[in-house]
Chains A and B, each alone.
Chain A
Amino acid sequence: AQTIHQWPVAEIKAVGSPLSLGCTIKGKSSPNLYWYWQATGGTLQQLFYSITVGQVESVVQLNLSASRPKDDQFILSTEKLLLSHSGFYLCAWSLGLGGNTGQLYFGEGSKLTVL
């Protein structure tokens, strides 16, 4: 069975500090990977997607970056956090090439509070 794990579960960070959120998918080779973000009371927005290792596409510009260093790992990061980065970050995977890319499997999420 496939599993998706995000870390950390929650973070409280200062404005201007760096951030790194991670996501690991086990039991599925060559998945499509996604980062989503939800501000408190807001809607889910897709930030990035990746079809293969080393290749990441940005969907929404939020002064964040993403990388896929391994087939099963997706990293979201920034050098300098803004207050507006607060919210709930979700990693998700879907089947890759030829699969149903609309059926996403989400992780547990990482809650970020920027003070």
Chain B
Amino acid sequence: DAKTTQPDSMESTEGETVHLPCSHATISGNEYIYWYRQVPLQGPEYVTHGLQQNTTNSMAFLAIASDRKSSTLILPHVSLRDAAVYHCILRVPIASSSFSKLVFGQGTSLSVVP
């Protein structure tokens, strides 16, 4: 089961800045937060990840709460091509293994209108 909670959908207008929230109240101290986005019938695309500090790259800014129980993905000046399902994911251990896995949930479906 996914360890994160996200709104089912959000809508934005082209050029706006979008804030996508994610709750991960049971996060463990060494679990990284990952964000991916996916359009129908394509593989997910990595957006960003973080552990404790806010991070930024060419795609987005990730704001992580000081208690790490929530995070927000901030997409500046969205365009139509940013419409996708955005997944907030924790990397969790696989039972009886030293390996870990990404557990995807339903994510937030972001629609962008002109």
Contact = CB atoms under 8 A, between A and B. Distances in A.
Interface of A: 43-46, 49, 51, 57, 59, 88, 90, 92, 100-109, 111
7 contacts: A43-B106, A46-B102, A57-B99, A101-B100, A102-B102, A103-B49, A106-B44
B46 to A, nearest CB: 5
Nearest to A6: B43
A51 B99 CA distance: 10
B42 A108 contact: yes
Contacts of B102: 46, 102, 104
Is chain A's interface secondary structure helix, strand, loop, or mixed overall?
strand
Contact of B105 (A43, A57, A90, A103): A43
Contact of B91 (A102, A106, A107, A111): A102
A47 B91 CA distance: 15
A102 B42 contact: no
Contact of B2 (A43, A92, A109): A43
Interface residues of B, number: 22
Contact of B101 (A43, A46, A88): A46
A32 to B, nearest CB: 8
Given A59-B94, A102-B34, A102-B49, A44 B99 contact: no
Give the 5 A-B CB pairs with smallest separation, nearest first. Answer: A106-B43, A44-B104, A102-B91, A46-B101, A90-B43
A111 B106 CA distance: 19
With a 10 A CB-CB cut-off, give which of B36, B46, B103, B106 has the most chain A CB atoms.
B46
Given A59-B94, A102-B91, A109 B42 contact: yes
